Amino acid sequence: MAVEVLGLGDILMRLAAAGISGCLVGLNRNLHHQGAGLRTYGLVALSTAGLTIGILLAGGGAESLSRVVQGIMAGVGFLGGGVILRRTDVGRITGLTSAAAVWFVAGLSVLSGLGLWVLTGALLAFALFILIFGRPIEHFAERVFGTDPEDDEEHGTR
C-alpha cells in the first residue's frame, strides 16, 4: 500500500471530527455524573484518530492498520474495564455504559481517522440517541411491563 497523501486540511478535519465526537459522548457522561467525561473521551478520540492517520501517512498497509486498530481497541477495552465496578453496598454493577462508550468512541475515531464520514456520522447520531433517550425508554418499559426483582438479584444488576 502506498503512502496515503493527506493534506493538512484533511488531517485537521479528521482529527476535529474525532475530537468533537468524543467530546459529545463525554459531555453526555459528564451530565450523568460519571467519572470519565468530556476530557477523557476527547483525548481517547484524538489519540485514536491520530494513530490511525499516522499509519495511513506512514504507508503501513492494511496489515499494519489492522494490527494498530486491534491494539487500540484492546487497550481501550482495558481502560473501559477500569470504570466498571461492582458495588456491594447497593448490590449492582456500575460503569458498563461508560465502558461501552469509551470503547465506542475509540472505534468511531478509527473510522473518522480513515475519513469514513457517513459511517462516522451515522454511528455518532445513533449513539447519542441511545445515550440521551435510552434511560427514559428503559424506565417507560419498566413501567409498562414491570420488572422481576428476582431476575435482578440473580444477575446482580439491581
Report, as an integer, the average pLDDT of 108-125.
Answer: 97
Check pLDDT > 70 for residue 2. Answer: no
Length of the chain: 158
pLDDT, tens digit, 9 for 90 and up, residues 21-35: 999 999 999 998 887
pLDDT, tens digit, 9 for 90 and up, residues 52-111: 999 999 988 899 999 999 999 999 988 888 777 777 777 778 888 889 999 999 999 999
Identify the pLDDT of residue 152: 52
Long-range residue pairs from 62-67, CB within 8 A, at least 24 positions apart, any chain = 62/1
Determine the Cα–Cα distance for residues 34 and 97; give it in Å rounded to an integer: 10
Q: What is the 3-state secondary structure (H, E, C) of the chain?
A: CCCCCCCHHHHHHHHHHHHHHHHHHHHHHHHCCCCCCHHHHHHHHHHHHHHHHHHHHHCCHHHHHHHHHHHHHHHHHHHHHCCCEEECCCCEEECHHHHHHHHHHHHHHHHHHCCCHHHHHHHHHHHHHHHHHHHHHHHHHHHHHCCCHHHHHHHCCC
